[in-house]
């Protein structure tokens, strides 16, 4: 069982025992649109090209679902932390309530012992008016203290009720998030299984040709991007934090892509970028879509190493720019963290974690 699951279960148990998620800004496009061009095909390649297109779509859909899964996971972690904090507040409030009840009980017992005799009667029975007046003053102070005590008691009870309601609502959200995560997981696995099954039907030579077609498409896209002259305009130098992020990402080269993974042995695309920037001292959103929404957008000509390039219209992929027209990214299932051309996929825009 994971630490997160254990923490959540402990928090919920404690709650039960004591109580009987920025609008995106303007987009910046690449200087020249760079849609992925289709490689030239011969009649013998047409069927294989159709297979490549279908596999690409399946992995793309799996990437979108992975972002949904990661978003649900991140939300669940925050909800779990909130439940833990609420549980501690409820426990502290219950202790305070118990102390207040004990104090109120002591006051009630004292009043019972005094017989609750009115002050006028005490005055008539007293042979010493000054003594009575002194006693009356103390009695008034006691009454005020009792009033304050009862007020604190009522406030604490109301506070505990609010905490309990909040904890219940967050637990419901956590349960709904778990269902969303399970649905996203099912979608991811279905898309990946279908893509891998499709690949497995190919002969070894066909799989090799398929890989070459993929590389050819990426190279042609990168060539078209570089031919736009954009690289001549990019002169940005990495910040100290950017250098640390690039160093972290570089150290992950060769590690496998695993959806939902954020290290240290494997990564998905946004798991790599978020962990790289965490290592550089800057926490950023977990998913590529949230990175696109929340981080500062910059013009591609102002790009510098460490910046993140967001790909596809739905912001379903992200890579880290490392300079000289290249990125480090975790591509997809069956691949490893690698260096690729920054223009080898359709660029949506660039964001800067340390702006």
Catalytic residues: 269, 317, 329
Q: How far from 4 is each of 86, 148, 167, 283, CA to CA, in Å?
A: 16, 41, 17, 19
Q: How far is 351 from 29, CA to CA, in rounded Å?
A: 12
Query: Residues near 165 by Cβ (< 8 Å), separated by ≥ 6?
Result: none
Share of the chain residues as helix, strand and coil, in percent rounded to the nearest 5: 65, 10, 25
| Burial label, 301 (beta-carbon count in 10 A; 0-12, 13-18, 19+) | middle
- DSSP state at residue 337: S
Q: How far is 339 from 320, CA to CA, in rounded Å?
A: 10
Q: How far is 149 from 151, CA to CA, in rounded Å?
A: 5
Q: Decide the pairing of beta strands 296-298 and 308-311.
A: unpaired
- DSSP state at residue 40: P
Beta bridge partners of 326: 323, 341
Q: Which tokens belong to 185?
A: 């997981």
At residue 284, the 3 state secondary structure works out as coil
């Amino acid at each position: 069982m994971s630490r997160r699951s254990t923490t959540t279960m402990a928090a919920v148990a404690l709650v039960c025992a004591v109580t009987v998620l920025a609008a995106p800004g303007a987009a910046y496009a690449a200087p020249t649109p760079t849609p992925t061009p289709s490689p030239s095909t011969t009649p013998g390649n047409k069927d294989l090209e159709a297979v490549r297109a279908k596999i690409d779509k399946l992995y793309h859909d799996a990437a979108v679902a992975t972002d949904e899964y990661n978003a649900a996971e991140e939300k669940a972690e925050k909800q779990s932390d909130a439940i833990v904090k609420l549980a501690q507040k409820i426990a502290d409030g219950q202790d305070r309530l118990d102390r207040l009840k004990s104090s109120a009980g002591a006051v009630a017992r004292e009043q019972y012992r005094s017989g609750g005799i009115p002050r006028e009667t005490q005055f008539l029975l007293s042979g010493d008016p000054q003594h009575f007046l002194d006693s009356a003053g103390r009695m008034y102070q006691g009454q005020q203290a009792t009033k304050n005590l009862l007020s604190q008691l009522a406030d604490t009870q109301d506070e505990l009720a609010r905490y309990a309601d909040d904890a219940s609502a967050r637990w419901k959200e956590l349960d709904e998030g778990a269902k969303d995560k399970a649905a996203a997981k099912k979608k991811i696995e279905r898309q990946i299984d279908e893509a891998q099954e499709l690949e497995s039907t190919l002969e070894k030579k066909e799989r090799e040709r398929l890989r070459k077609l993929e590389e050819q498409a990426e190279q042609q896209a990168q060539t078209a991007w570089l031919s736009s002259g954009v690289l001549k305009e990019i002169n940005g130098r990495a910040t100290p934090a950017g250098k640390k992020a690039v160093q972290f990402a570089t150290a992950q080269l060769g590690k496998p892509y695993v959806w939902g993974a954020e290290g240290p042995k494997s990564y998905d695309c946004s798991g790599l970028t978020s962990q790289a920037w965490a290592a550089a001292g800057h926490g950023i959103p977990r998913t590529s879509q949230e990175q696109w929404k929340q981080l500062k957008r910059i013009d591609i000509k102002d790009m510098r190493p460490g910046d993140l390039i967001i790909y596809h219209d739905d912001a379903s992929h992200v890579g880290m720019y490392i300079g000289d027209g290249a990125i480090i990214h975790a591509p997809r299932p069956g691949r490893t963290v690698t260096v690729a051309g920054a223009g080898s996929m359709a660029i949506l825009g660039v964001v800067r974690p340390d702006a």
